[in-house]
Amino acid sequence: MEETWITVDEFYKEMDELLFTVSTDLFLPCGGRPETIDGNNWHRVLDSGGNPTLRVITEGANSFITPAARSEIQKKGVIVLRDASANKCGVISSSYEIIANLLMTAKEFLAHKEAYVQDVLAILEKRAEEEANLIFRRYREADGKLFYTDISNAISGEINDHYAKLFTYFQSRPDLCDHPLFAKVLLNHLPALIRENATFKGRVKRIPQKIKRAILSSEIATRSCITEGGKWISKAD
| E strand or H helix that includes residue 57 | strand 56-58
Closest residue by Cα to residue 18 from 3, 29, 2: 29
Domain ranges of the chain: 8-81, 88-236
pLDDT tens per residue, range 132-169: 999 999 999 999 999 999 999 999 999 999 999 999 99
Tell me how far CA of residue 198 lies from CA of 107, 160, 204, 213, in angstroms.
Answer: 17, 33, 10, 23
Categorize the per-residue pLDDT at 19 as very low, low, confident or very high, splitting at 50, 70 and 90. low
pLDDT tens per residue, range 73-83: 999 999 999 99
Prediction pTM value:
0.84
What letter represents residue 46's amino acid?
L
Categorize the per-residue pLDDT at 228 as very low, low, confident or very high, splitting at 50, 70 and 90. confident
> Could you name the CATH architecture of 8-81?
3-Layer(aba) Sandwich (3.40)
- State the distance between the two ends of the chain, measured CA to CA, in whole angstroms: 69
